[in-house]
């Protein structure tokens, strides 16, 4: 079937989820289904929509992103998979452009994400409002329209991407040895590149990222990042997330020597407050 399954994960962000669903409902190409893997403390609920909605309760601790994404993909009923983080609101053309690109391209597709500050998503929001307030990513360069191939697999991001179901299964999905936050998406991008799958940035396929408390560097995830960085280094012979690791080292949270990486301590409340950022971790 050539339908589109939109897949998202939620953990205690029901308000963000409802805005994502609102964006999907305004799409000029509705998804054929929305699959929600719900890791929240209290189950989420979504009202009746003009597309099928499936909510899967995933009782877990922490944030097992790789396992949850694989679970969502396994539940999907259609051939074109669009993964959206729960804090992304798809603009009206996003799903259509990703779906059309997948029809023509056996590739790993990234959507163009714009970042919103506090209070940007108001009741009765309009697409023009969000686009006027959203900030483009400072490193990832998207065309205004059309498709650009990106040759650095390290710039793949799992925030908003699309892939054919068969290709996702052939790649083996996300590696669940990456537990918690960090590294699992970079590893996925590297494995896709190793298998010859192009990484394409799709212009006009825009998602607006809803603000939430975040940190730069993501000190709240330092233990996960250190553990997952070691797994990545052992596999690929290089360190992922080097900007974050360097920042952690400067703060004294981690130690780096030769090919070693150690967690020295967790961040203090003062350090957590000092690293608050509009950019998501």
Q: What confidence score (pLDDT) does residue 213 get? A: 77
Looking at every residue in the chain, the average pLDDT score rounds to 94
What Rg, from alpha-carbon coordinates, does the chain have?
18
Of the candidates 86, 116, 99, 69, which has an alpha carbon nearest to the alpha carbon of residue 23?
86
Spans of all domains in the chain: 4-209, 219-274
Q: Which CATH architecture has domain 4-209?
A: Alpha-Beta Complex (3.90)
Q: Are 231 and 178 in contact (CB under 8 A)?
A: yes
CA angle 68, 71, 76 (to 5 degrees): 130
Of the candidates 84, 109, 89, which has an alpha carbon nearest to the alpha carbon of residue 99?
109
The neighbour count for residue 277, using CB atoms within 10 Å, is 13
pLDDT digits (tens, 9 = 90+) for 254-280: 999 878 899 999 999 999 999 987 555
pLDDT digits (tens, 9 = 90+) for 103-137: 999 999 999 999 998 889 988 999 999 999 999 99
Q: What confidence score (pLDDT) does residue 278 get? A: 57
CA distances from 179 to 65, 135, 172, 197, 230 (A): 7, 30, 16, 25, 12
Of the candidates 237, 212, 220, 224, which has an alpha carbon nearest to the alpha carbon of residue 182?
224
Q: Which two tokens stand for residue 70?
A: 């694989």
Q: Which residues of the chain have pLDDT under 70?
A: 1, 278-281
Q: What confidence score (pLDDT) does residue 280 get? A: 54
């Amino acid at each position: 079937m050539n339908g589109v399954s939109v897949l998202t994960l939620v953990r205690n962000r029901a308000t963000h989820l409802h805005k994502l669903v609102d964006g999907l409902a305004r799409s000029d190409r509705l998804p054929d289904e929305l699959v929600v893997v719900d890791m929240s403390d209290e189950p989420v609920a979504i009202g009746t929509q003009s597309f099928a909605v499936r909510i899967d309760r995933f009782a877990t601790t922490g944030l097992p992103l790789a396992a949850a994404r694989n679970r969502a993909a396994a539940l999907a009923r259609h051939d074109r998979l669009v993964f959206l983080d729960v804090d992304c609101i798809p603009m009206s053309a996003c799903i259509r452009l990703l779906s059309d690109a997948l029809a023509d391209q056996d590739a790993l597709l990234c959507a163009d994400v714009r970042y919103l500050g506090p209070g940007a998503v108001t009741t009765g929001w309009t697409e023009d409002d969000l686009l006027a307030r959203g900030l483009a990513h400072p490193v990832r360069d998207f065309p205004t329209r059309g498709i650009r191939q990106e040759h650095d697999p390290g710039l793949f991001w799992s925030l908003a991407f699309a892939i054919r179901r068969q290709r996702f299964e052939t790649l083996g999905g996300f590696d669940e040895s990456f537990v918690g936050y960090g590294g699992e998406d970079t590893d996925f991008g590297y494995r896709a590149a190793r298998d010859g799958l192009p990484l394409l940035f799709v212009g006009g396929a825009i998602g607006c990222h809803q603000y939430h408390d975040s940190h730069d560097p993501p000190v709240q995830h330092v233990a996960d990042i250190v553990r997952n960085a070691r797994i990545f280094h052992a596999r690929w012979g290089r360190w992922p997330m080097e900007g974050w690791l360097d920042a952690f080292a400067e703060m004294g949270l981690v130690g780096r020597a030769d090919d070693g990486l150690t967690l020295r301590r967790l961040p203090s409340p003062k350090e957590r407050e000092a690293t608050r950022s509009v950019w998501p971790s």
